[in-house]
A and B are shown apart, each in its own frame.
Chain A
C-alpha cells in the first residue's frame, strides 16, 4: 500500500510538474522591457539610417506625448530581412516597424503581404500628393496598395576628390563616359592610383555602379511586366565598359571592408558614384577626414542628350500586420515622413534630400555644403532629378539580382577574358529559369 501510494504520489507530482512546466514553457515569451509602457520594436540594418528617425522620435514624443516607447535594434542586412520574412511565415513574433530596403521588398509580396497598407491613412492625412511618389511610395507599392514609405530622394551624382583631380590635371567637368575613361587612363599612368574602382560582388556591395550606369543608359533589371532584361544592350554596354576599365588597368576591383575606406581616404580611389547616402552619408560616416575635399557633378553621359543621373537604392519603412500596436506605429511612421523638421534631420546627418515636397523647398537644402567645399548641392539635385529614367520593380528582384551578380557581373569582372555579353546571357537565362521553376 505504502509503495503504491508513494508511486502514485510521485507520478502525480511528476505529471503535475511536467504539465505545469510545459504550460509555463509554452506560454513563455516574456517581454524584456518591463514597465508600464508598451514598447514597439523597430528593426533596421544601418545605424546611419535610423539616426534621423531617432531624432524624429524625440520630436514626436515632445509634440504628441505618446503612451508607448520605441526600441531600436540593428541586424546585419541579410539576417534582418530574412527574419522579417520568417515572421510573415510564422504569423507572429518579429518587430512592429521595420526598415525595408528597396531590393528586398519583392520578397514580401509573393504570398500574403505582412505589411500594413498605408494608403488609407495617407489619404486621410491629405498628404499623399505631396510626395515624389516614384521615390517615396512606388518602390513599396504592389497591386495598388502602399506597403511602405521612403524619405530618400536618391538622385545619383558623381562625387570626386577635386584636390586630387586638380593636382593630376584631370579635366572637369567630365561630359561623357568615354572622356572619363581617357582621363582615368592618364591619371593612373601619372599617379599609379585609380580614378574609380569597380564594385563586383555581394561581399563588396554588389552591382551598385553597374546598376546606376545601366539605368542611366536607359536599361534596368526588369521590364514593365516584371520580367528580367539582363542581357539587353544598355546592360551589356555597362558591363563591357567596366571590364575594359579593368583590362586597361585604369581601374581596380573594390577592396574589401575597411580597406576601401582607407583607399578613399588616402586618395588611392578618387571618385564615388551614387546618391547622397553614398557620396554623402557613407563618406561622412566613414572618412570624415576628407571633409571639404569633394565636389559633385552630374554623371557623365553615355551619349549626347542622354540622362545624367539615375536612382539607386533606398530604404522605406513599413509597419507589420503582426504588430500589436499597428495604429501607434503607423501614426509615428507617417508623422516622421511628412514632417519637414523631422526629415531635415536626415539631411543634416547624411545629406539625404527628402521625398516630401514641402520639405524639399526648404532653403536649408540649398545651402553651400562644407563637406563639398561649399558647393550648393541642393541646386544640382533639383536640376538633374527630372532626368531619372523610369524603372520597374518585380516580385523576382532577389532572384534576378542574384543571377545578375553571380553569373553576370562577378564572373565578368573577376575573369577578364569572359565576354560580358555571354555572362549576361547566362545571368538572364538563369533568372528566367529560377522564376519559371518557382511559379
Chain B
C-alpha cells in the first residue's frame, strides 16, 4: 500500500513538473537558449573587456606583480616614441587603404559591372583568392615578392628600368611595401563590396539621366556616388578597422623594423603584452586604439550621413 502510494506521488511530481514545463517552456526557453552563448560570452568576452580596462591602470611585469599607476599608462602613451610611431605607421597604412585601394576597387567594380565585360565570374574569383588565404601565407608570399635581390616586385620594376628597391630593409619604403601587399590582398573583396552596391542602384535613374542629356561622368557624380553612400561608409570603416589589424606580415618579415619603421599598433600591443609582459601598458594601448577607432568611425558617419549608417 505504502509503496504504491509512494509510486503514485513520485509519478505525480514528475507529471506535475512536465505539466508545468509544458505550460511555461515558452517563457523559460529563451533563457536556456541564450545560456550557452552568454556563459561563454561572459567568461571570454565581457570579463576580459572589464579586466583589461582595470588592468590598464596598473603597471608591472606579468600578471602577479601589480602596482596601481592611475592614469600613468595613458599619460605615457603621449611620450612614448614607439607608440607614436606605431600610430603613424598604422595610419599611413590606413591612408593607403582609403585613398588608393578603395578607389581602385571602385574602378575595378565599375569595369566588371560594365557592358564591356563578359567573364565577370572569372574576374571575381581571380581577385578573391587573397581574401581566403591566411595572413601568414600572404606574408610568406610577399617575403618572396619584396625581396631586394630575388623578389618579383623588383623584377617587375626592372622591366621598366627601375633600380631594385630595398623594400623590407629601408625604413621609408617598408610601410609602402606593406601597403602594396594590402592592396594586393584586399582588392578583390573591396571590388565585390562596390559591385554589390552598384547592383543595388536602379537602372532607371541612368535611363532618365541619359534622356535628359547627361553624360557618363555626370551620371557618375550625381547618381552613382550619392546612391553608393552607405557602401562608401561601409568600405571606409572596414578599411580603417582592417588596417589596425595588420600584424602577421610585420611580425614575421621585419619584426617591426627596421628601427620601428613597420611597427603597427597590434604589433606594439603584442610587443608590450607578450614580449615585455607589461600587461597593464598593453591594455592601455589597446583601449587607446578603441578610442581612436571610435573617433574615426563617428567622424565617418558624420561625413557620410546618419541615414547612410542606418541603412
Contact = CB atoms under 8 A, between A and B. Distances in A.
> Is A in direct contact with B (CB under 8 Å) within the complex?
yes
Interface of A: 1, 4, 18, 78, 82, 85-86, 89, 107, 110-112, 201-204, 256-259, 398-399, 405-407, 410-411, 414, 430, 433, 437-438
Contacts of A85: 274-275, 277
B242 interface: no
A410 B258 contact: yes
Contact of B21 (A4, A18, A89, A407): A4
Contact of A406 (B259, B274, B275): B259
Contacts of A86: 274
A437 B171 contact: no
A438 B169 contact: no
B169 A204 contact: yes
Given A107-B275, A437-B76, 18 more contacts: A4-B18, A4-B22, A18-B36, A82-B275, A110-B61, A110-B277, A111-B62, A201-B257, A202-B257, A203-B168, A203-B255, A257-B147, A258-B149, A406-B82, A406-B260, A410-B258, A414-B258, A433-B79
A111 B149 contact: no
Contacts, number: 74
B254 interface: yes
A256 B62 contact: no
Interface in B59-96: 59, 61-65, 76, 79, 81-82
Contact of A201 (B22, B64, B258, B281): B258
Contact of B81 (A202, A430, A437): A430
Nearest to B85: A406
Contacts of B180: none
Interface of B: 18, 21-22, 36, 59, 61-65, 76, 79, 81-82, 147-149, 166, 168-169, 171, 254-255, 257-260, 274-278, 281
A398 B259 contact: no
A414 B260 contact: no
Contact residues of A: prevailing secondary structure: helix
Nearest to B82: A406
Closest 6 CB pairs of A and B: A410-B259, A110-B61, A201-B258, A111-B62, A202-B257, A406-B259
B21 A203 contact: no
A256 B166 contact: yes
A413 B8 CA distance: 93
A15 to B, nearest CB: 10
Contact of B148 (A4, A112, A256): A256
Contacts of A399: 276
Contacts of B64: 111-112
A202 B168 CA distance: 12
A203 B65 contact: no
Nearest to A88: B62
24 contacts: A4-B22, A18-B36, A82-B275, A85-B277, A107-B276, A110-B277, A111-B64, A111-B65, A112-B64, A203-B255, A203-B258, A204-B169, A256-B148, A398-B275, A399-B276, A406-B82, A406-B259, A407-B259, A410-B258, A411-B259, A414-B171, A438-B61, A438-B276, A438-B278
A54 B65 CA distance: 39
B22 to A, nearest CB: 7
A82 B259 contact: no
B275 A202 contact: no
B69 to A, nearest CB: 10
Contacts of A407: 259
A414 B62 CA distance: 35
A204 B276 CA distance: 22
Contacts of A203: 168-169, 254-255, 257-258
A201 B257 CA distance: 8
A111 B61 contact: yes
